[in-house]
Amino acid sequence: MAKKRIESETPDPFLKAVSQGLGWASRHRISLAVVFVFILLAAASIWGWSSYRSTRDRESALVFSQALRVYHEIKPHAQGGRVKEAIEAFQKTVKEYPHSLWAFLAHLYLGRCYELLGNKDRAAQELAVGVSGIRSEKYLYPQWLVAFARVQDPQKGIEAVKGELSKEEPFLEPYLMYNLALFYQEKGDINGAIKTLEDLKGRFPASPFGQEAARLLEVLK
């Protein structure tokens, strides 16, 4: 009588891997313990740094908001006292939290303050630092870039605004076009200003900037 063939079972790959892993773990108990402690320490360090950064960010935001409150209390064409108080408040943000986003925003408002005092050179310095720190801020950057260009000269303003318009951001386009017209006007290029305003009025008639363009056109023509 023929012998019955005995089929050998193929071991389950998962069970085999688990078995090998447990065997390795039993042979390297000390190494595993060291790795486990290292992972715990690394996780604690990451959590601690994240918590520290979060606390610092909240603190810097609070200091900046206090400075901004002083700034918004400045009356139009103000000179001296209140403006200098705002400068001191923004400088506190810069000094205590120099690497935060709020510090760069403080530099921008410092530029505005010095512009109010008639110190265009210092205003340009502060705005340059602020603008360099907010390049990744999609909507803030173009607006402050215009402010920075304004304290330099009209031609630089025209170049800066044209550079931003080339990026084709529909949300910002009416704002940028309006400022481009103002720079043309300041430069003395009335034809350039009128052409830009007519384009703005035609493309964005419902925009507040489109409506303002229509009013300005009545003055320039």
Per-residue pLDDT, 169: 77
Residue 149 contacts by C-beta under 8 Å, 6 or more apart in sequence?
A: 156, 157, 159, 160, 161, 183
Residue 201: Cβ within 10 Å count:
21
The answer to whether 193 and 220 have CB atoms below 8 angstroms apart is: yes
Torsion of CA 134, 137, 138, 141, to 10 degrees: -30
Tens of pLDDT, residue by residue over 175-191, are: 899 989 989 988 889 99
Per-residue pLDDT of the chain (221 residues), as tens digits, is 454 454 445 556 655 665 665 565 555 554 555 555 556 555 555 555 455 456 667 888 888 889 888 888 877 665 667 899 999 999 999 999 988 889 999 999 999 999 889 898 999 999 999 988 888 887 778 888 888 888 878 888 888 888 888 887 778 899 899 989 989 988 889 999 999 999 999 999 999 899 999 999 988 87
Residue 156 contacts by C-beta under 8 Å, 6 or more apart in sequence?
A: 149
Question: The whole model's pTM is what?
Answer: 0.61
Per-residue pLDDT, 6: 47
Domain ranges of the chain: 57-152, 153-221
Class of domain 57-152: mainly alpha
